[in-house]
Structure 1
Amino acid sequence: MIIDAHCHVWPDHIAAKVLAGRPAGLDPVHDGTLDGLRRTMDAAGIDMAMCLGVANLARTVDRTNEFIGSVDRSRFIPFGTVHPGLSIEENLASLKRHGIRGVKLHPLFQELSLGDPAVVELLHALAEEGIVVITHAGAGGDEASNERGHPRHLRALADGVPNLTLIACHYGGYHRLDTAEELVVGSRVVLETSWPPRLADLDPDRLRRIVAAHGADRMVFGSDWPMADPAAEIAAVRALGLTRQEEDAILGGTLARLLGIVEAD
């Protein structure tokens, strides 16, 4: 089973407008719609994908969760949104209302810091509810956004919120891989493999060392669709020459275990 942990989707009438703005300075390679994601998955041999919704503003949290909660759950796994501008109770109520058991945080687009006490308090509440959290981690283009997603915040969350299942995108440090290797690799944080626009841009020897140091049982495949092509990213993982057990774990086994997904016979 192959599961993509990192797919951004928007309603059809919004996707083109969002992508025209080149999020995070990247050029999209797909259209950002649910139908587009399904076609991409079919072409790449992906069984399931986490659909990530991000509300940049507190007032759009419930609207975003309504859309994400409506996805076809036979192929898509809804990961909704929260915002520190709402109370913990309001955030939890929105997730429950739309049947969502996972959350995406984005320090860049939401302008929230993973070290903000209000965010940490919210993550404690999510952990108590058994809600899995995936977050952007690493650089964001300027000093303020770099700080909001700094790898040291991931390590502090791993140590300070021990019952939280935390998935860190981009090996825990987009364009801050040295720092992520120092602070996050080897911790209890689950590392996700995306490195847009191409995972192949990273040194494969370095990636093999990260897998050996962190463990494939705490790593998950993600493409960062629609900013990267999942088929090429899967090929890059397979080109690392990992053991079959490690490759299977990263491409789907680890995430299936974390999310309680049972592969159909």
Structure 2
Amino acid sequence: MIIDAHTHVWPDHVAARALGGSGLDDLPRFGDGTAGSLVEVMDAAGVDRSVVLAVANTAERVESANTFTGSLDPDRFIGFGSAHARSDPDELVASLRRHGLRGVKVHPLFQDYALDDPGLLRVLDALRGEFAAIVHVGSAGDPEKAARCTPTMIVEVARQLPGLDLIACHFGGYRVIEEAAEVVVGTPGLYLDTSWPPSLATLDPDLVAGLVRRHGPDRVIFASDWPMADPAAEIEAVRALGLEEDETDAILGGNLARILSLE
């Protein structure tokens, strides 16, 4: 089974506006951000299931974001809700349970707080043992915003919250791969996702394979960041790393299936 751990979908009537306001205008698009478009891309790429990540820019919008991701077809999609540093931890946990969600997405660049915000740490603490958290780490072209989610910060979150299934996006440092390689790779209790839009193939495959080896193939998770990348191309980029077949299979789906206890 191939599972894409990092995709974004919006309701059909707002997808175009949401995608246009993502702030990542330098990246191509490989779909229109709707569930129907993602299913077509998944079928073409051979992806069995995709994790759909909700991102609410305010705490007040978390419930509506969670309602939407929880409404998607569970045979194809694995819903992750949104978490915000201003969320009430108990209310968030109740929302995740109510909508059948398996985890949360944290995106400080868009949510206007930092990874070391005490409110966020309280929220993530409430998730331990039941829900996973996937967290954006690294830059998006704005140095001031990038300071909200540095590689050092995600390592500190992992240190403070042992037992949390914590996944660092973009190998732990989007557009700062050298810093991620020095600071994040090898951190105990931390999983890394492979997303690197517009493609993992833009990185040196020997560098990437070395990062995977150092961190451990059992703690690396396939992710595309659709619609900012093409899952088919990203699968091929993972297969091109020259890892053992069982390691590649684990990255493409087995590791996340284990973390989320998927059949």
Same fold judged by TM-score > 0.5?
A: yes
Q: Do the aligned residues in 1 keep the contact of 2:194 with 2:224 (CA within 8 Å)?
A: yes
The equivalent of 1:17 in structure 2 is 17
**Once the two structures are superposed, what CA deviation does each residue of 1:190-230 show, in whole Å capped at 9, x if it has no partner?**
00001101111100110111111011100000000001100
Deviation at 1:22, TM superposition (A): 4.8
RMSD: 1.2
Q: Do the aligned residues in 2 keep the contact of 1:9 with 1:33 (CA within 8 Å)?
A: yes
The equivalent of 1:212 in structure 2 is 213
Q: Which residues in structure 2 correspond to 1:104-123 (within 5 Å)? A: 104-123=105-124
Q: Is it true that 1:97 corresponds to 2:98 in the alignment?
A: yes
Q: Which residues in structure 2 correspond to 1:113-152 (within 5 Å)? A: 113-128=114-129, 130-152=130-152
Q: Which residues in structure 2 correspond to 1:10-89 (within 5 Å)? A: 10-25=10-25, 26-89=27-90
Distance in 2 separating the partners of 1:240 and 1:143 = 31
**Once the two structures are superposed, what CA deviation does each residue of 1:170-191 show, in whole Å capped at 9, x if it has no partner?**
0000011111111110112100
Look up the equivalent residue of 1:181 and give its one-letter code: A
Q: Do the aligned residues in 2 keep the contact of 1:238 with 1:247 (CA within 8 Å)?
A: yes
Distance in 2 separating the partners of 1:100 and 1:240 = 32
**Once the two structures are superposed, what CA deviation does each residue of 1:228-261 show, in whole Å capped at 9, x if it has no partner?**
1000111111111111011111111111111111
Distance in 1 separating the partners of 2:12 and 2:36 = 9
Deviation at 1:89, TM superposition (A): 2.2
SS of aligned partner of 2:232 = helix
Look up the equivalent residue of 1:121 and give its one-letter code: R
**How many residues are matched?**
261
Instruction: Give percent identity, aligned residues only.
Output: 52
Look up the equivalent residue of 1:196 and give its one-letter code: P
The equivalent of 2:242 in structure 1 is 241
**Once the two structures are superposed, what CA deviation does each residue of 1:85-139 show, in whole Å capped at 9, x if it has no partner?**
23222222222221222101111111121111111111111115x1100011111
Deviation at 1:79, TM superposition (A): 0.3
Segments ≥4 residues shifted beyond 3 Å: none
Distance in 1 separating the partners of 2:34 and 2:176 = 30
Contiguous gaps of at least 5 residues in structure 2: none
Distance in 1 separating the partners of 2:113 and 2:98 = 24
TM-score under structure 2 length normalisation: 0.96
Q: Do the aligned residues in 2 keep the contact of 1:83 with 1:91 (CA within 8 Å)?
A: no
Contiguous gaps of at least 5 residues in structure 1: none
